[in-house]
Amino acid sequence: MSDKLIFNLVNPEVRKHAAEHIYEVGEGYVCEIRKRRRIESQNAKFHAMLGDICAQWTFNGRRLRPMEAKVLFISAHACATGEGSDIVEGLEGELVNLRESSAEMTISRMASLIEYVSAWGANNRIRFSAGHQYAEPANWREKAGKNSPFD
């Protein structure tokens, strides 16, 4: 057997199969049951949105890289959803925001973050590209016509 097995508990058959494996393994294994984390399509959409924002927006007079914008948006989303922020003094005296990890977010939490970024973008006149929900499918400009809100 592999050192790691993952079961998406989507139906009774899968649950039964997972339970059988729990009974079969020997000592030294751990069973973790948690909500499913964000999916790859959410991650791709979020990072596409960050790229669009960084290409069109300046923060405190400078362009940010997507990973810098990611820190801002995850922190702002945490505050907006009541999670708050945890600013501490870093090892060299700098200020550090101990924020949640997008890789650890559940599907619903990541959906909330994407919705937050989308609303922020709309309020800040950001045009999102094909990686964003408003720009699908690939030929969305043709389908939207000349009076599209995206033009």
Q: What is the pLDDT of residues 57-110, one digit of tens each?
A: 999 999 999 999 999 999 999 999 999 889 999 999 999 999 899 989 999 999
Domain count, the chain: 2
pLDDT tens for 12-56 read 999 999 899 989 888 888 888 888 788 888 989 999 999 999 999
Same domain, 78 and 14: no
Q: What are phi and psi of 57, to 5 degrees?
A: -135, 145
Say how far apart CA 68 and CA 50 lie, in whole Å: 9
Q: Return the residue matching tokens 């094909």.
A: 130
| HSE-CB for 18 with a 13 A CA cutoff | 16
> Mean of the pLDDT values across residues 124-148?
53
Question: 150 lies in a domain?
Answer: no
Question: Under 8 Å CB-to-CB from 139, ≥6 apart: which residues?
Answer: none
pLDDT at 1: 60
Report which of 84, 106, 113, 110 is spatially closest to residue 97, judged by C-alpha positions: 84
> 69: domain range?
40-144
**Mutual orientation of helices 107-123 and 66-80 as an angle, nearest 10°?**
100
pLDDT at 141: 38
Say how far apart CA 33 and CA 6 lie, in whole Å: 10
Question: 124 lies in a domain?
Answer: yes
Does the structure show a pLDDT above 60 at 10? yes
> Mean of the pLDDT values across residues 131-143?
40
Same domain, 28 and 75: no
- Going through 45-108 in order, the beta strands assigned E by DSSP cover 87-89, 95-97
Say how far apart CA 17 and CA 65 lie, in whole Å: 44
